[in-house]
Amino acid sequence: MRELLLIQSIYNCKTQSDIEIIVEEQPNPKIFFKVFLELGVKSLVPFLAFDARSMKSLLGQKNKKYFSGEFPVFFKNEEGRSAIDTALDNNQIRSVNLMIDYIVEYQNSYFYCHLFNYNAIDLLNKGV
């Protein structure tokens, strides 16, 4: 129930600053990394990928103790898109850099190379 209220709160935000405030005020960032059946087996990270400040808050050093390589945070959804694709579409280069840093440290496996199959040229063109 708490998760649905959080999603509704984010959806009702009028500015990106409001979203960042909600992200920052959560006592535990694990709620954003958790997979929800209600969202079609997705975490909230792809929905926040358009906002560099929220991604910086989630993937920042202060939350490092919550990171784990056990469960992936970045993956492709049923449409074949990932949070990286969303951030690239919105020219959020800082977000993409944070995501790649996370992937390299916590999802460092050849299995996740599919995240970069179709966006590698965009990454190079945008200087990531």
User: Which residue type, as a one-letter code, is found at position 37?
Assistant: L
Q: How far is CA 45 from CA 33, 71, 121, 124, 127, in A?
A: 6, 13, 23, 23, 23
Top-tier CATH class for 2-125:
mainly alpha
Residue with the bigger pLDDT between 116 and 43: it is 116
Count of CB atoms situated within 10 Å of the CB of 82: 24
For residues 98-107, average pLDDT: 87
- d(C-alpha 5, C-alpha 110), whole Å: 36
Judged against a pLDDT cut of 60, whether residue 41 lies above it is answered with no
Count of CB atoms situated within 10 Å of the CB of 127: 7
Residue with the two structure tokens 């999603």: 7
Q: What is the pLDDT, as a whole number, of residue 42?
A: 65
Cross-strand partners of 36: 42
Domain ranges, ordered by start, for the chain: 2-125
pTM (2 d.p.): 0.75
pLDDT, the chain, mean: 79
Of all residues in the chain, what percent carry a pLDDT higher than 70?
88
Q: Where are the alpha helices (DSSP H) in the chain?
A: 2-11, 16-25, 30-33, 45-48, 52-59, 83-89, 93-106, 120-125
